[in-house]
């Protein structure tokens, strides 16, 4: 019992605390909506009691008029009041609907913007964690809506329920205090059960988040152009659809399981309420006959009984909804309260550096046991062209992610001119740009794909595109030049590019940044040999002003690098020029001979 009371008190304090935060959050965006919503709830709380009482007066006036065979003036007064207050209610609600549309949209936008900003601050490894992605999905899908829902129900509880409840309770106590207590007991039991069900539902909903995310992914596969070619070519839609149906069935079974929890509670509450209704009607009619009450008075009390029962049902629904919403807003506020160290609000580009030092770096991906990098030591000097080579899964791309500050080493340090990379990033210092293997394809204009918000002249962007072998003819073929939308999500006249064209745009995006370090992770994997050679030439031309780090499987590109870094089994197996590694590094020599033999065999054909 003590533990239950402590849990109840702890939960109540949390709900009050989160209600306050929700109120402050919404107030900061639209105080007018908050005030107007409260005024509407006050009027809605008064209206049913007033309407019930004026209806009683009108019935009594009509009865008197029928007895005297003459319409009493009070009939017109009562009818006018009923019409006036009803019309006023509809006017207030109509205005509220209009205000809701504009204000709620603005509140949603503001809260979602805060969510996006906080998600953008998250460390990169969060985006590779299924648990974190499930939490992000819950906040993204429920956060702003649950905030508005929690405020709306709290507002109803504070104003509508208190005013409406106090009025109907006062009337019901005059009918029967025992009956009033029995109604409260029935609803209290339902409240306790509803709280348990809400907690149970939220727990299961968290478990179902992962399944919902998979369902969404599979549905997007069927509706996204990225997968359309392969689904049609390999005729794999039926296989994807079967997996989709299996997940949907699993979700449906689990969903029905916890929905069934509420059925006995609802049924039992309905039976108990119906029984109390019958008892209440009997008491009211009996008292009316004994006391010689008017027809209007009897109808007034029976209507008040219905209103009181409705109030208790609504009260429980509101409290349960507030509790249920608070479980989701807890996720939201946990996200908004997360701190990832100091993050700069403004960014500045580093002009130059002398040396990057990788010292005794070891790294294991969060949530795994396998050490990817082991005691790596490396120095990269200003203006060097460095090529990182090695077999798949040996740690090349991981080393690049560490150099970019996407991950922090478990051991050791990475410094630029003696300063930790993590410190530079927290201060908003931009020191690098990059092209990744899984480069992004933004459905924006061609110019925006390269420059984003940066004010870069069109001629400069065209120059970079031409340097990466995006030909003048390819540019002229675009209907709106640099202002042509890529893909068709934004514009039906958008252009769908080839993978090779996209990769050249991704390289151009990295090269157009005014930063001293350019990282290219497999920058030529989708390019033909001519385009590949041109991009390598562009990279070499930038050696004087920038340091270029390139990850590549093609050792033909590595031959022209100032420094080649061979990574094998998470360690640096060799560092040097092509000639030095051919003499001193057996792993590199073997890789080069295999690739050279492949090209020689092709030439003989």
Give the range of the structural domain holding residue 465, as residue numbers without chain letter. 441-514
Q: Check whether residue 166 and residue 243 sit in a common domain.
A: yes
User: What CA–CA distance (Å, rounded) separates 244 from 237?
Assistant: 10
Q: Check whether residue 237 and residue 275 sit in a common domain.
A: yes
User: What CA–CA distance (Å, rounded) separates 235 from 135?
Assistant: 34
Q: Check whether residue 500 and residue 526 sit in a common domain.
A: no
| pLDDT at residue number 266 | 55
Q: Check whether residue 41 and residue 129 sit in a common domain.
A: yes
| pLDDT at residue number 224 | 67
Does the pLDDT of residue 601 top 70, yes or no?
no
Span of 229-243, 258-272, 412-426, 440-454 with lowest mean pLDDT:
258-272
- What is the full DSSP assignment across 513-534? S--SEEEEESTTTTS-HHHHHH
Does the pLDDT of residue 477 top 80, yes or no?
yes
Q: Check whether residue 56 and residue 68 sit in a common domain.
A: yes
| pLDDT at residue number 356 | 92
Does the pLDDT of residue 513 top 60, yes or no?
yes
| pLDDT at residue number 528 | 66
User: 110: how many CB neighbours lie within 10 A of its CB?
Assistant: 16
The β-bridge relationship of strands 411-416 and 419-420 is antiparallel
**For residue 429, what pLDDT band results from cuts at 50, 70 and 90?**
confident
Which of 499, 514, 529 corresponds to the end of one domain?
514
Does the pLDDT of residue 132 top 90, yes or no?
no
User: What CA–CA distance (Å, rounded) separates 393 from 370?
Assistant: 12
Q: Considering the domain boundaries, does residue 46 fall inside one?
A: yes
> Among 277, 41, 6, 317, which residue's Cα sits nearest to residue 155?
41
User: What CA–CA distance (Å, rounded) separates 309 from 271?
Assistant: 13
**For residue 72, what pLDDT band results from cuts at 50, 70 and 90?**
confident
Does the pLDDT of residue 270 top 80, yes or no?
no
| pLDDT at residue number 605 | 46
Tokens describing residue 476:
């002229």
The residue that leads in pLDDT, 21 or 134, is 21
Q: Give the range with max mean pLDDT: 181-195, 249-263, 274-288, 383-397.
A: 383-397
The β-bridge relationship of strands 571-576 and 432-435 is unpaired
What is the length of the chain? 605
| CATH number of domain containing 88 | 1.20.1560.10
Distances (CA, A) of 127 to 131, 140, 538, 571: 9, 14, 33, 26
pLDDT digits 0-9 by tens, 371-407: 899 999 999 998 888 999 888 888 888 898 899 888 8
Could you give the angle at the alpha carbon of 249 between the alpha carbons of 247 and 255, nearest 5°?
100
CB-side neighbour CA atoms (13 Å) of 285? 6
Q: Check whether residue 10 and residue 131 sit in a common domain.
A: yes
Tokens describing residue 534:
């041109």
User: 572: how many CB neighbours lie within 10 A of its CB?
Assistant: 21
Sign of the Cα pseudo-torsion (387, 449, 486, 473, in order): negative
Query: Which residues are CB-contacts of 111 (< 8 A; sequence separation ≥ 6)?
Result: 25, 29, 143, 144, 147, 332
Query: Which residues are CB-contacts of 417 (< 8 A; sequence separation ≥ 6)?
Result: 353, 354, 355
Q: Check whether residue 465 and residue 533 sit in a common domain.
A: no
Q: Considering the domain boundaries, does residue 530 fall inside one?
A: yes
| pLDDT at residue number 602 | 47
Phi, psi torsion values for 72, nearest 5 degrees:
-80, 145
Q: Check whether residue 262 and residue 172 sit in a common domain.
A: yes
Q: What separation, in Å, do the N-terminal and C-terminal C-alpha atoms of the chain show?
A: 85
Q: Considering the domain boundaries, does residue 436 fall inside one?
A: no
User: 520: how many CB neighbours lie within 10 A of its CB?
Assistant: 26
Q: Considering the domain boundaries, does residue 180 fall inside one?
A: yes
| pLDDT at residue number 322 | 83
Give the full edge-to-edge strand order of the sheet including 563-568: 432-435, 517-521, 547-551, 385-389, 563-568, 571-576
| CATH number of domain containing 465 | 3.40.50.300
How many domains are contained in the chain?
3
User: What CA–CA distance (Å, rounded) separates 191 from 291?
Assistant: 36
Q: Considering the domain boundaries, does residue 36 fall inside one?
A: yes
Sign of the Cα pseudo-torsion (558, 559, 564, 565, in order): positive
Which of 514, 537, 568 corresponds to the end of one domain?
514
Q: Considering the domain boundaries, does residue 343 fall inside one?
A: no
Could you give the angle at the alpha carbon of 522 between the alpha carbons of 519 and 523, nearest 5°?
70
Span of 149-153, 234-238, 464-468, 557-561 with lowest mean pLDDT:
234-238
Q: What is the mean pLDDT of residues 178-184?
A: 73
Tokens describing residue 168:
């109907």
Does the pLDDT of residue 599 top 60, yes or no?
no
Q: 46 with 163: CB under 8 angstroms?
A: yes
| pLDDT at residue number 603 | 46
Q: 522 with 373: CB under 8 angstroms?
A: no
Q: Considering the domain boundaries, does residue 267 fall inside one?
A: yes
Tokens describing residue 216:
């969404």
Does the pLDDT of residue 258 top 70, yes or no?
no
- The SS3 assignment for 363 reads strand
User: What CA–CA distance (Å, rounded) separates 515 from 349?
Assistant: 6
User: What CA–CA distance (Å, rounded) separates 423 from 426?
Assistant: 5
Span of 45-54, 208-217, 437-446 with lowest mean pLDDT:
208-217
Phi, psi torsion values for 383, nearest 5 degrees:
85, 0
Query: Which residues are CB-contacts of 237 (< 8 A; sequence separation ≥ 6)?
Result: 222, 231
- The SS3 assignment for 258 reads helix
Q: What is the mean pLDDT of residues 268-293?
A: 73
Q: Check whether residue 420 and residue 452 sit in a common domain.
A: no
> Among 247, 233, 331, which residue's Cα sits nearest to residue 18?
331
Which secondary structure element, helix H or strand E, spans residue 171, and what is its range?
Answer: helix 162-175
pLDDT digits 0-9 by tens, 316-351: 778 878 877 887 788 888 888 887 765 555 678 888
Share of the chain above pLDDT 90, in %: 11
| pLDDT at residue number 58 | 87
* pTM (predicted TM-score): 0.68
Q: Check whether residue 72 and residue 100 sit in a common domain.
A: yes
CB-side neighbour CA atoms (13 Å) of 5? 2
Which of 491, 514, 537 corresponds to the end of one domain?
514
Q: Check whether residue 524 and residue 416 sit in a common domain.
A: yes
> Among 115, 113, 138, 125, which residue's Cα sits nearest to residue 335?
115
User: What CA–CA distance (Å, rounded) separates 227 from 237?
Assistant: 10
> Among 403, 409, 400, 524, which residue's Cα sits nearest to residue 469?
524
User: Beta partners for 380?
Assistant: 356
Q: Considering the domain boundaries, does residue 484 fall inside one?
A: yes
Tokens describing residue 591:
């890789």
| pLDDT at residue number 3 | 66
Share of the chain above pLDDT 70, in %: 83
Average model confidence (pLDDT) across the chain = 81
Q: 273 with 312: CB under 8 angstroms?
A: no
Q: Check whether residue 113 and residue 256 sit in a common domain.
A: yes
């Amino acid at each position: 019992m003590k533990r239950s009371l402590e849990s109840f008190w702890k939960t109540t304090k949390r709900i009050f605390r989160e209600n306050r935060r929700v109120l402050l959050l919404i107030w900061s965006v639209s105080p007018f909506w908050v005030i107007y919503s409260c005024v509407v709830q006050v009027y809605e709380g008064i209206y049913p009691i007033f309407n019930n009482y004026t209806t009683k007066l009108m019935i009594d006036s009509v009865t008197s008029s029928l007895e005297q065979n003459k319409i009493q003036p009070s009939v017109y007064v009562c009818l006018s009041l009923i019409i006036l207050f009803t019309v006023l209610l509809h006017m207030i609600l109509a205005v509220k609907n209009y205000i809701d549309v504009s204000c709620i949209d603005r509140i949603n936008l503001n809260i979602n913007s805060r969510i996006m900003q906080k998600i953008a601050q998250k460390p990169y490894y969060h985006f590779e964690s299924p648990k974190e992605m499930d939490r992000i999905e819950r906040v993204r899908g429920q956060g702003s809506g649950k905030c508005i829902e929690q405020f709306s129900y709290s507002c109803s509880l504070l104003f509508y329920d208190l005013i409406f409840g106090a009025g109907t309770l006062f009337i019901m106590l005059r009918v029967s205090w025992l009956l009033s207590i029995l109604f409260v007991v029935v609803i209290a039991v339902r409240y306790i059960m509803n709280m348990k069900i809400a907690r149970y539902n939220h727990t299961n909903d968290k478990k179902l988040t992962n399944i919902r995310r998979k369902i969404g992914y599979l549905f997007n596969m069927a509706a996204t152009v990225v997968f359309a070619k392969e689904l049609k070519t390999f005729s794999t839609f039926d296989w994807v659809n079967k997996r989709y149906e299996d997940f949907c069935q699993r979700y449906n079974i689990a969903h029905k399981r916890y929905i069934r929890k509420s059925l006995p509670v609802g049924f039992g509450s309905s039976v108990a309420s119906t029984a109390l209704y019958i008892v209440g009607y009997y008491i009211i009619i009996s008292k009316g006959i004994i006391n010689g009450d008017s027809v209007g008075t009897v109808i007034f009390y029976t209507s008040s009984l219905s209103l009181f029962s409705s109030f208790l049902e609504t009260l429980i629904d509101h409290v349960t909804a507030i509790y249920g919403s608070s479980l989701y807003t807890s996720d939201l506020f946990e996200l908004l309260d997360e701190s990832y160290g100091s993050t700069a609000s403004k960014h500045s580009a580093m002009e130059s550096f002398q040396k990057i030092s990788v010292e005794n770096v070891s790294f294991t991906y969060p949530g795994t046991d396998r050490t990817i990098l082991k005691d790596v030591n490396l120095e990269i000097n200003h203006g060097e062209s460095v090529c990182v080579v090695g077999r798949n899964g040996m740690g090349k791309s991981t080393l690049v992610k560490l150099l970019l500050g996407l991950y922090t080493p478990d051991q050791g340090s990475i410094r630029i001119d003696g300063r930790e990379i993590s410190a530079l990033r927290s201060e908003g210092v931009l020191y690098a740009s990059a092209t990744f293997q899984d480069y992004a394809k933004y459905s924006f204009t061609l110019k925006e794909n390269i420059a984003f918000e940066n004010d870069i002249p069109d001629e400069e962007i065209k120059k970079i595109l031409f340097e990466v072998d995006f030909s003048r003819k390819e540019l002229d073929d675009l209907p709106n030049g640099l202002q042509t939308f890529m893909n068709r999500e934004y514009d039906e006249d958008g252009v769908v590019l080839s993978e090779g064209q996209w990769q050249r745009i991704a390289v151009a995006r990295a090269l157009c940044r005014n930063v001293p370090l350019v990282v290219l992770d497999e920058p030529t994997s989708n390019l033909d040999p001519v385009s590949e050679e041109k991009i390598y030439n562009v990279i070499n031309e930038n050696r004087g002003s920038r340091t270029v780090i390139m990850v590549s499987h093609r050792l033909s590109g590595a031959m022209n690098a100032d420094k080649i870094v061979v990574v094998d089994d998470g360690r640096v197996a060799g560092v040097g020029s092509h000639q030095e590694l051919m003499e001193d590094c057996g792993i590199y020599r073997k890789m080069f001979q295999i690739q050279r033999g492949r090209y020689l065999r092709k030439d003989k054909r």
